[in-house]
Every structure is written in C-alpha cells, then in structure tokens.
Structure 1
Amino acid sequence: MQKRKLSALLLGASIASSGFAATEIEWWHAMGGALGEKVNEIVADYNASQDAFKVKATYKGNYSETMTSAIAAFRAKQQPELVQVFEVGTASMMAAEGAIYPVHKLMRDSGQAFDGSKYLSAVTGYYTDNDGNMLSMPFNSSTPVLYYNKAMFAKAGVTPPKTWEEMQSVGEKLLASGAKCGFTTAWQSWVHLENMSSRHNQPFATKANGFGGMDTRLAFNSPLHVKHVSKMGEWQQNGIFSYSGRRNDGSAKFYSQDCAMYTESSAGYAGIKKNAKFDFGVVELPYWSGEVKQPSNTIIGGASLWVLKGHKSEEYNGVASFLNYLSSADVQADWHQFSGYLPITTAAYNLTKGEGFYAKNLGTEIAVQQMTTGTPTENTKGLRLGNFIQIRGVIDEALESVWNGEADAQSALDNAVKRGNMMLSKFEKANN
C-alpha cells in the first residue's frame, strides 16, 4: 500500500499557533528493524500533520528491556509520557495504579473524541478493567499462525496441516522429501501452551486466567497440555519439530529452508516477506481434532501503549492527540498491512478489505479470522497474570527439559506450575 498523505485529524491540532514551540511528547518503544523504521515513519507523519505537538520516539531494546527502563525511569522521576509494554506486563502495569494514567480517563480529560466500541473486542478485552474501560491503547496486537514453504510442500506432495494429528504424517513426508525438519517455532510458551489452551477452550490458569482476581493459580499441566508437549518432545527427537530458542530465532531455519513450517506471530509477516526468498503461505494454528470439533479463537500477543503519570496537562493533551491519530483507520490499516499486526479497529479492517489487500495478499486475513472465531469465553479472552515475565522463563526451562530428553512432559509441567504458583503468590501478597 502506498504511503498515505495523512492530514491533521485531531482536536489537539487546533491548539497550535505559529508563535509557540510545539509541546514535546516522549514515547519509548520496543520496535526494532523494519518495524522500528515504520514507527519512525508514523511519528514523522504525525508531527508533520500538525504543529501543536512533537512526538519523539525512542527505541529502548526488546520488550523486557523497555519495560525495565520505564520502571527505573519512573522511580527516578524521569519517565516518558508514553511507553510500549508487552501483553505479559499488563497485570504489573494495572497493579501500579499510582504510576499509570488510564487511557479512557486521559481521553475524557483531554476532550478527545473516544469510543471504545469502535475497537475490536478480541483486542481491547485484554487491556480493559472489569467495567470495560480501556486502561492502555492497543498498538501492535498479534496472534500466532502457521507459515509454510509452498515449494517444499509441493515437493513432498502435502497440504498444510489443519490439525496436530495431521502434523505427524505431513512432517514425515516432508522429511522423506529432503527437508531437514518439519516445523520450528517462535515464542514457545505463547504459541504452544498459552494459545494452545485458548484454541481448545481450556484454562491456562484459574480465575478466568487471572481476569477474576490475583488469587489465580496455573493450570497448564492438564492432560491436554501434557499430550501436546509430550508429542512435541517426540517430534523433537525424530526431526518433525526442531527447537530454535525462546524468542523468534526459528525464523533463520525457515528462511534457510531447513524447516518447511514455522509457528510464529502474525506480526512475523513483515520479516518473512522481506527475508524469505521463496513463496510462502499462511494458515491457521493447528488444533487437536480429537479434543475439539471446532477450535476456539487464539489470543493476542504484542503490546499496548501505557500513559505514565507525572507530566503537565498540555503534554497529556498531546498524548491523547497522538493516540487518536494512531487509532485512525488510515494509520491502522497501513500499519496492519505492512506488519501483519491485527487492525485494532473495525474501520481499519473494513478499509483494508475494501482496498482488496486480503484478496491480493492471500493469507493476510487469517489472523483476523482466527481471532474472531466463535464467542470468546473466560478461557479465550487472554491472560492477566502477575510476574508473568518470570513465569514464562520457568515455562521455557520446563519445555527445554522435555525437548532435550531430560524430563517427561508431565513432570516438567507439574514442576513449572509449582514454581509459577509461588511467583503468583508473591505477586498477590505484594499487591494486596
């Protein structure tokens, strides 16, 4: 899609006067590479669209590093107005009531037109309080999908697996045709435990996955979870699955055509399109057909934008203006089409569809369709768990112990649940 010439859409622009310097707004983010370049482009377009405010975007490292930097800056009273925080940090941000300025209140106080119903419920539900008020602004929301190498599939004479049962035979035929591995994965906890739970309408944790209270406990050691992890452990041994690391390191095996499939975020689309020197396809994340007849929706990953307290009212007027701009249909459609992240509003989705983008780029609508499968339940709304960054580290250790043959799936997941529950208990005590 051609770069849009975006006009000043905002009430904040009316404050501008040629006799005054623009009010500066600092935004810390975790978007590197091609995504970071796109963020800089969006910010430049906003700054050019009006002269009341000037946003300064600063890359602060990966998600964990960005959140850690923001916490340290707040304690030193040097915090930015706006910070990007990944979804697993949501519970921690909500608990820091004295540090955050809820988006719904910011928009009301700043006089900005704001209607939460215009945002996709599958996205906003993750970032709202129990009354449905939006606490942070969704920006880059994604969900896992399955990418596959069309040439390798043609050579093996197979079609993409819709179910995990089919993964066995598809993987075997790919290996027989010369592939070094059937599939690899990014973000193993997010894809193969968190989203696997949602896909089968199974709890990852009690208390509606933490939405019902901080006295939640983990539940990802059920027979279904053990079955999935156990099978992946077998596949790791015979080459159908190849472990590549805790983040998205598996992209290298997919780009090099060692692995024919890659379970990764829908937001991996931009990187795959840029780096894959072959024709690839996108399909929905598989499910166990022996467990459910119809899979449920997957849940989101990515991040949202949190407003931090401690700044002047004119700066918050600028933040509200910028957030409204980011939510506009033009900006969101452009971001969605470029990155593979979900459009956060119905208007952006309809605009993208109306432009024929999905018809011209087959597979790019998969993430939206998968996210809107059926009616969300308390098991498929998302996760809201304290100390979740640390818990994911425990999960990674447990899964790695299965992949390398040191532990069986049941004992590994039981141990991870036990250790994770201790972290949840600490978070509960610290915030009561």
Structure 2
Amino acid sequence: MGTAVQRRVTGLTAAVAVLGIAGTLAGCGGPGDSGDVTLKLVAADYGDSAANSSQKYWDKVVKGFEAENPGIKVDVTVSSWNDVDREVKEMVKKGEAPDLAQIGAYADYAAQGKLYEADELLSIATQADFLAPLAQAGEVKRIQYGMPFAASTRLLFYNTKLFKDANLTPPQSWSELQADAKALKARGVKIPYALPLGSEEAPAETLMWMLSGGGGYTDNVGSYAIDSKQNAKTFAWLRDELVGKGLTGPTAPGEMNRADAFAAFARGDVGMLNGHPTLMKMAAKKGVKFGMVPAPGVNGKAQATMGVADWMMAFKQNGHRKETGKFLDYVYSKKNVLEFSNEYDILPVTNSASDAMAEDRGDTELGKFLKELPTSQLYPVGKTSWAQVSADVKKDIGKSVEPNGNPQSVLTRIQNRAASKENAE
C-alpha cells in the first residue's frame, strides 16, 4: 500500500491498499498481581464491506494467539484507511499510544524515539523472513522500525480487445508503448495511455516512470537524486513523445487522478496504464478483458518496478515489549501472512509465505505481481522528509509534462526542497 498498498485494494484503495478508533491507553488487563497484559492494536481495514472486514481476520488471529498464550489479551480496533493514520497520530499526541499500529507510515514516530526496534521484538527467524526490499524500506539510519505488513507491486495493464482490434502486441519498450498508443489513437481510443500525475497518487506514477528510465527518487546510497539526468530525460520524453503527441487523452496528466484513470480503464476507454491488483477486480466486474506485463523501460523491460508496503509498528510507551514481540511472531507466521494475503489479493511480506503463494498461485494473475516483488523499489519512507517530498511531487510534477514544461527545473525545485528538509533534521 504514504500512499501505500494499493491505496489500497478496494478498502485497500482506499492502499491497498493495503486504519473510527475507540482505542484507549493500553494497560494491564487484570487487577492486582495477576500479570495479565492487554495489548492494544489499531489496524487498517482492507475489506470493502462488513462481510470481509479486516476485523474478522484479526478476531481469528487473536483467538488463536490467546489460546496459546494465557495471560496476554489483544484488543484490536479496525479503522478505515481514510481515518486510521490521523487517528493514531492523535492518540500518540494525547499520550495514549497503542501498543501496535498497522498503518501507512512509521518514520515520524521512529524519528521521535517512540518505537521499538524490530530486533527488540521479533525472533531472529521472523525478522529474517521479511523480503529484503521491504525490510530495508522499514529502516531509519539502518535500523528497522517499520515491519512490512502488506505489499503490492505495479504492472502495465492493457485492454486486450482494443489491442486485438488494432493487431497490437503489449509493449516492452518506450518506443513500442508510443507506437501502440499512436495506433490506438488512430482507431479512436479516448485515452491511449493514461498518465495520472494528479494529486491523488502522483508519487507512484512518477516513481514507476523514473525506474523505467533508470532513475528513481534516491541514488544507490539513499540520497535524494530527484533531479538526476535520467529523471529529467524521462519526463522530457513523456512531455514530447506521449503528452505532446496527444496520446494521454483530453485531461492534462496533472489533473488526472489514479481513481479516474482506473474508472476509465474499467469503462473500456483506456488502452494502457500502470496498475495494481485492485484494478483486476474493477475491470473484471465491468467485463473489461485485460492483460498485464512488466513495465516497459527505455530499451526493454524496466530493471525494477515500484513496490508499496503498509506498516506495522510497536510503540514503547506502555512497556509491553516482550508480550508485543510474542504476538508479532505469531502474526508473522507463514499461515497467518498467507491467509491475510489470499483474503485480500495482496502480496505476502515474508519469504516463506511468498514461496507458498508462488507454488499455489504463481500462474494466476496475482502471481505476475508476486514475481516482481523481490526486485521492486519502494518509496524512501524511512526518511521523515518523504512526506514533504511526496506533497511537492503531487503539487508540481504534472507541470513538467505540460506543453511548455521544464522537467529539469521542476525536478530541481523538488530536489532542493527535499535537501533542505533533510539538512534541517
């Protein structure tokens, strides 16, 4: 699933994606010296109705855990993705932090010294089971605080009927993508390629194109490289070869949100766009046939695709380190991770569950996303400056592909603000 897992898989879009709260200050569950502890967990809802609410998943997990661990109770509050990050923030501000929060971002809490380190909580086996790109994205200054909970990658979706009618094959390079888009436009397709650089999720589309051009938000040592030559060339190409040639539809990319692009694809109005697993359900529900391929790169398949994760974190305030760690080891068992992933059509965050899903569903549509996860690159969510950078990208990146846009200037402006924010911390 900021923008996280699929914003998130229906309730996940919402991102997976991929957490109203009645949480209260965690404390001892029993009176006197019984030693009983009640852990408070606030979690995001990945369902899209009461029938498949995440509350049902957590109730089952808690029931199994409490049966094996007398003396430890777990109280779970599940909230909408629209509310959960804000509500956890308010709880922490009031001095009423939950023991655990499964939400969209962890870096600010880590920077404030409010979180346990992962290795203070988890068994060695559990911590080692996280997929490497996800574990690394959970680090602040090389120490892991964020534990990945749900993951997603992106693929290029294409409308198979439109492609068949135009006698096209899915693109593997930018030039092929442009050629396909031109052919679709010639046949009257409303939006040959949807390029959502609007405020909803511009950072995602931006990163996908940066990666396909050999760049990214950061360099190999984790420093911001937003205004790199590769990134400037990528957005110049988008401006001149896609937007400038009228291949992205009547709405300016800077005014198109991802939700609108997905809805247009589900209506059959879009030839191609970058998407996550939520779009599979949306399109299928509307009867739109689609195919999916890895993102095209400059001269062939992109070296990496974008990955997104939602996070679990443990607050130190209530001092329940041992009990919290025991619960997390249970949560991250192969059985539980796999059950959650299968229920919501999202990707497992552990090697053991990923291997099991690949064996069971590797040939399915979801398996195509799973295949991209081990080499995916995530937002630099370990930087507390990322929230500001993300906001700047949402505000400005669309300007880089306008008719008279200057990609280098736009990217440099975002880079300078990012560097200033980093230096101020």
1:270 is displaced (CA, Å) by 6.0
1:161 is displaced (CA, Å) by 1.2
| Separation in 1, partners of 2:50, 2:350 | 20
1:404 is displaced (CA, Å) by 4.5
1:197 is displaced (CA, Å) by 3.8
Matched, 1:167 2:177: yes
**Match for 2:315: what amino acid?**
L
Deviates further, 76-85 or 231-240: 231-240
1:168 is displaced (CA, Å) by 0.5
1:199 is displaced (CA, Å) by 4.5
Structure-2 change in CA distance of 1:296 and 1:404 (3 Å): closer
The DSSP-based 3-state class of the residue aligned with 2:170 is coil
**2:79 maps to which residue?**
59
**1:142 maps to which residue?**
152
Matched, 1:256 2:264: no
8 A contact 1:127–1:136 mirrored in 2: yes
| Separation in 1, partners of 2:418, 2:257 | 17
| Separation in 1, partners of 2:176, 2:170 | 9
Structure-2 change in CA distance of 1:275 and 1:318 (3 Å): farther
**Match for 1:411: what amino acid?**
S
**1:11 maps to which residue?**
none
| Separation in 1, partners of 2:231, 2:51 | 35
**1:399 maps to which residue?**
397
**Match for 2:175: what amino acid?**
E
8 A contact 1:140–1:302 mirrored in 2: yes
8 A contact 2:334–2:352 mirrored in 1: yes
**2:373 maps to which residue?**
371
**1:83 maps to which residue?**
101
> Residue 101 of structure 1 is aligned with which of 103, 111, 116?
116
8 A contact 1:229–1:399 mirrored in 2: no
When normalised by structure 1's length, the TM-score is: 0.76
Structure 1 residues 336-347: aligned runs within 5 Å: 336-347=341-352
Structure-2 change in CA distance of 1:60 and 1:354 (3 Å): closer
**Match for 2:416: what amino acid?**
K
Structure-2 change in CA distance of 1:204 and 1:402 (3 Å): closer
| Separation in 2, partners of 1:262, 1:203 | 19
1:114 is displaced (CA, Å) by 4.1
Matched, 1:411 2:409: yes
**2:41 maps to which residue?**
26
Structure-2 change in CA distance of 1:382 and 1:398 (3 Å): closer
When normalised by structure 2's length, the TM-score is: 0.77
1:256 is displaced (CA, Å) by 1.3
1:138 is displaced (CA, Å) by 0.8
Q: Deviations over 1:110-129 (max 9, x none)?
A: xxx74322221122121135
> Residue 329 of structure 1 is aligned with which of 314, 324, 334?
334
1:171 is displaced (CA, Å) by 0.6
The DSSP-based 3-state class of the residue aligned with 1:402 is helix
1:271 is displaced (CA, Å) by 4.4
**1:320 maps to which residue?**
325
**1:6 maps to which residue?**
none
1:48 is displaced (CA, Å) by 3.2
- Aligned residue pairs, count: 380
**1:224 maps to which residue?**
230
| Separation in 2, partners of 1:90, 1:401 | 30
The DSSP-based 3-state class of the residue aligned with 1:165 is helix
CA RMSD of aligned residues (A): 3.3
Structure 2 gaps, min length 5: 1-28, 67-71
8 A contact 2:65–2:330 mirrored in 1: no
8 A contact 1:297–1:371 mirrored in 2: no
1:325 is displaced (CA, Å) by 3.4
**2:193 maps to which residue?**
183
**Match for 1:370: what amino acid?**
E
**Match for 2:78: what amino acid?**
T
**Match for 1:177: what amino acid?**
R
Structure-2 change in CA distance of 1:34 and 1:281 (3 Å): farther
| Separation in 2, partners of 1:262, 1:381 | 19
**1:8 maps to which residue?**
none
The DSSP-based 3-state class of the residue aligned with 1:368 is helix
| Separation in 2, partners of 1:263, 1:28 | 28
| Separation in 2, partners of 1:346, 1:329 | 9
The DSSP-based 3-state class of the residue aligned with 2:40 is strand
| Separation in 2, partners of 1:137, 1:416 | 28
Dislocated runs of 4+, deviation >6 Å: 19-22
8 A contact 1:84–1:303 mirrored in 2: yes
1:50 is displaced (CA, Å) by 4.3
Matched, 1:115 2:135: no
**2:69 maps to which residue?**
none
| Separation in 2, partners of 1:349, 1:334 | 12
| Separation in 2, partners of 1:38, 1:143 | 23
The DSSP-based 3-state class of the residue aligned with 1:365 is helix
8 A contact 2:213–2:234 mirrored in 1: no
Matched, 1:71 2:75: no
The DSSP-based 3-state class of the residue aligned with 2:405 is coil
The DSSP-based 3-state class of the residue aligned with 2:362 is helix
| Separation in 2, partners of 1:166, 1:75 | 51
**Match for 1:254: what amino acid?**
F
The DSSP-based 3-state class of the residue aligned with 2:316 is coil
Structure-2 change in CA distance of 1:274 and 1:81 (3 Å): farther
**1:358 maps to which residue?**
362
Q: Deviations over 1:200-253 (max 9, x none)?
A: 55352357224xxxxxxx322223212222232342344422436455442111
Q: Deviations over 1:139-185 (max 9, x none)?
A: 11222221222222212211221122211001111222332112224
* Percent identity of equivalent pairs: 16
**Match for 1:418: what amino acid?**
N
Structure-2 change in CA distance of 1:79 and 1:269 (3 Å): same
